[in-house]
Amino acid sequence: MTDLNAFTLADARDRLRAGDITSVELTEACLNALEGAGALNAFVHKTPEKALSQAKAADARIAEGDAPAMCGLPVGIKDLFCTMGVPSQAGSAILNGFRPEYESTVTQKLFDAGAVMLGKLNMDEFAMGSSNETSVYGKVVNPWRRADDTAELTPGGSSGGSAAAVAADLCLAATGTDTGGSIRQPAAFTGTVGIKPTYGRCSRWGIVAFASSLDQAGPMTKTVRDAAIMLEVMCGYDPKDSTSADIPVPDFEAMLTGDIRGKTIGIPREYRMEGMPEEIETLWSEGRRMLEEAGAKIVDISLPHTKYALPAYYVIAPAEASSNLARYDGVRYGHRATLAQGDGITEMYEKTRAEGFGPEVQRRVMVGTYVLSAGFYDAYYNRARKVRTLIKRDFDDVFAQGVDAILTPATPSAAFGLGEMNDADPVKMYLNDVFTVTVNLAGLPGITVPAGQDSQGLPLGLQLIGRPWEEGDLLNCAHALEAAAGFVAKPEKWW
């Protein structure tokens, strides 16, 4: 029998309801797995007592015949989510010791649906990074390794802890958040599934803010079916988030028919980047062929402003971050610097923020401050917002032409080595998000599905982008792609 922690959400749910296993057994299997996985550095705050008490409660509910969607299923929570009484630091030293007095809406919804929390997952500081190397807790290591060497690889970022934990079977699924690709890129690097829903689907309340107009939460799972199950629980209107959408959440799992005959899939020519590795190019064509064989109609499309998405993002996201992160001032929570004789409040702010923020966060806060400053606001910030309008219009146009979903590569490469980008300039790291960032700027749903392996055996992902609010259709397309790709590889355990 498969180790309990290696179950998918769907299988575990069915076994729990059939009475074959208990949530306590399932939870203990995960706790054992994560105890032995220190080398991955994925879980940074473990909550075994909370997990076991939630598991017992779930078992009681199941016994009474009251088993909601996630009842008894153990998951990991990205450190960006505020969880009551449990450290929630967003991977930053500036939130040292912070224990929220409240629960984020998304985690509350998961708990209401019976989910069990195993602990908090590592991430890039304030979700700013693509390699999980900017975390105050230290880097996360990808459970995958190249066939011919033992070099440590990045799990991607910023939801790298979530991706590594799911790939290594430390939990059945995990929450992630995605501002420019932070769910989809790590999912692609670890052979897992990650979906960022339409902006407004998941409440942002209680999620530490990075760039409020781009941030969305989503699930990171082992299969597309699991993504459908968990996403449905995470979604829904919340009066505490003024941008939360008050529209019904469909039964996503019921929409997984696998039938995509007659659907129109667009292949955007602008995503064929110069210098793109041949393996990525091949995978993309394979994906195209698979969807075509499943009965979809494939059309070539154009998204002319694609090239400007990354530069627009690197104005808008830092601008919003500089505003959001102004709250970390050493007054209300977290770290406060030790002051010297005669230091006033300004020194307190400046020293606290210099000590509490890591280099990448400082850089982005300052870039954001600059593009919002008098004299540059129009040239940078307003111009970027106009370009954002054009990027969204590109998508509106192709959807109006009848395209149901868009197929692209998920990342420009497979997982790279930890430390490999140390000497590169910051812009080189930003290029990781080249295929994912457009989706955040346009507020669309996007999902990555593992679709193949490179010559070194590392997983590669494909991305599908859907119409706004059509996550059900998008998941169904992804389900068809997943079935055709038949990706079943798992990392060999070395940790």
Footprint on residues 66-125 left by other proteins (CB under 8 A):
97-101
Residue 110 · residue 54 · CB < 8 Å: no
| Binding span for other proteins by CB under 8 A among 7-15, 105-113, 188-196, 344-352 | 344-352
Among 65, 248, 275, 344, binds other proteins (CB under 8 A): 344
State the Cα–Cα distance between residues 474 and 226, nearest whole angstrom.
14
Q: Which of 441, 447, 458, 460 binds other proteins (CB under 8 A)?
A: 441
Nearer to other proteins, 68 or 304 (CB): 304
Q: Candidates 104-112, 131-139, 179-187, 382-390: pick the segment binding other proteins (CB under 8 A).
A: 382-390
Q: By C-beta, is 26 or 361 nearer to other proteins? A: 361
- The residue among 10 and 442 lying less far from other proteins, judged by its C-beta, is 442
Q: Does 397 bind other proteins (CB under 8 A)?
A: no
Q: Which is nearer to other proteins, 313 or 487 (CB)?
A: 313
**Nearest residue (CB) to other proteins, 287 versus 472:** 472
DSSP per-residue codes, 30-91: HHHHHHTTGGG--EEEE-HHHHHHHHHHHHHHHHTT---TTTT-EEEEETTB-BTTB---TT
Binding of residue 179 to other proteins (CB under 8 A): no
The answer to whether residue 311 forms part of the interface with other proteins (CB under 8 A) is: yes
Binding to other proteins by residue 354, rule CB under 8 A? yes
Helix (H) or strand (E) holding 297: strand 297-301
430 touching other proteins, by CB under 8 A = yes
For other proteins, the closer CB: 443 or 472 = 443
Selected from 4, 75, 123, 367, the binder of other proteins by CB under 8 A is: 367
Q: What are phi and psi of 37, to 5 degrees?
A: -120, 30
- Does 425 sit near other proteins (CB under 8 A)? yes
Which tokens go with 140?
């996360």
Using CB under 8 A as the binding rule, whether residue 373 contacts other proteins is answered as yes
Residues 114-143 within binding reach of other proteins (CB under 8 A) = none
17 binds other proteins per the rule CB under 8 A: no
Is the link from the previous residue into 158 a cis peptide, with omega within 30 of 0?
yes
Smallest gap from residue 204 Cβ to other proteins (A): 13
299 binds other proteins (CB under 8 A): no
Which residues, 6+ apart, have CB-to-CB distance to 433 below 8 Å?
Answer: 130, 180, 181, 185, 310, 313
Residues 237-258, buried b or exposed e (16+ Cβ, 10 A)?
ebeebeebbeeebbebbebbee
Q: Are 176 and 182 in contact (CB under 8 A)?
A: yes
Binders of other proteins in range 186-225 (CB under 8 A): 198-200, 213
Which of 88, 182, 203, 244 is the catalytic position?
Answer: 182
Among 21, 30, 55, 315, binds other proteins (CB under 8 A): 315
Q: Among residue numbers 229 through 288, which ones bind other proteins (CB under 8 A)?
A: 239, 242-243, 245
- Name the active-site residue from 23, 50, 78, 322: 78
| β-bridge pairing 74-78 and 116-121 | parallel
158 as an active site residue: the answer is: yes
Select 63 or 427, whichever has its Cβ closest to other proteins: 427
Which is catalytic among the residues 23, 130, 135, 158?
158
Question: Helix H segments across 268-407?
Answer: 278-293, 309-324, 345-356, 359-372, 383-400
Q: CA-CA distance, 180 to 194, in Å (whole number)? A: 13
Rounded Cα distance, 101 and 97, in Å: 12
Does 65 sit near other proteins (CB under 8 A)? Answer: no
Q: CB within 8 A of 434, min separation 6: which ones?
A: 273, 309, 310, 412
Q: Applying CB under 8 A, does 495 fall inside the site for other proteins? A: no
Q: How many C-beta atoms surround the C-beta of residue 270 within 10 A?
A: 16
Residue 473: its H or E element: helix 471-485
81-100 per-residue burial string, b: 16 or more CB within 10 A, e: under 16: bbbbebbbbbbbbbbeebeb
**Catalytic positions, please?**
78, 158, 182
